[in-house]
């Protein structure tokens, strides 16, 4: 039984709560059981879908979305949620819209 308990504890600690706010939306994206091993690249399509957003060409340029945490733009999409959470059980991100002309 101890092995099962350890396994359950390991499973529990491998998840965290992810909350992503997008200024133009009334409600944030929330995943209460996100895997700590999940990368920002894996999270991004789920968040864009939740908010009904698409990246790509628009008149005069390209629309892209990026994550920020505590006012810092997160450019490394290979970063996993566990490392960004820094030992906490919840991570809060913002989704920013970027327009690149040209």
The pLDDT of residue 13 is 61
**Residue 7's pLDDT is what?**
39
Q: In CATH, what number is assigned to the domain containing residue 39?
A: 3.10.20.90
Could you write out the DSSP letters of every residue in 69-102?
ETTEEE--TT-BHHHHHTT-SEEEEEEEEEEEE-
- Which structural domain, as residue segments, surrounds residue 35? 2-101
The first and second tokens of residue 85, run together, are 């959470």
**What mean pLDDT is predicted for residues 43-53?**
97
pLDDT higher than threshold 50 for residue 68: yes
Can you give the pLDDT at residue 60? 87
For the chain, how many structural domains are there in total? 1
Confidence check: pLDDT of 83 > 90: yes
Mean pLDDT of 46-57: 96
**pLDDT classification of 96: cutoffs 50, 70, 90:** very high
Distances (CA, A) of 67 to 16, 19, 36, 76: 17, 11, 17, 10
* Gap between the Cα atoms of 86 and 50, Å rounded: 25
Q: Phi and psi for 89 in degrees, rounded to 5?
A: -100, 5
């Amino acid at each position: 039984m101890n092995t099962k308990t350890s396994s359950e504890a390991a499973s529990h600690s491998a998840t965290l709560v992810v909350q992503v706010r997008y200024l133009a939306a009334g409600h944030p994206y929330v995943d209460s059981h996100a895997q700590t091993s999940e990368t920002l690249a894996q999270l991004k399509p789920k968040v864009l879908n939740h908010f009904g957003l698409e990246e790509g060409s628009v008149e005069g340029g390209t629309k892209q979305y990026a994550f920020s945490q505590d006012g810092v733009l997160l450019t490394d999409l290979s970063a996993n949620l566990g490392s960004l959470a820094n030992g906490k059980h919840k991570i809060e991100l913002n989704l920013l819209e970027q327009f690149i002309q040209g």
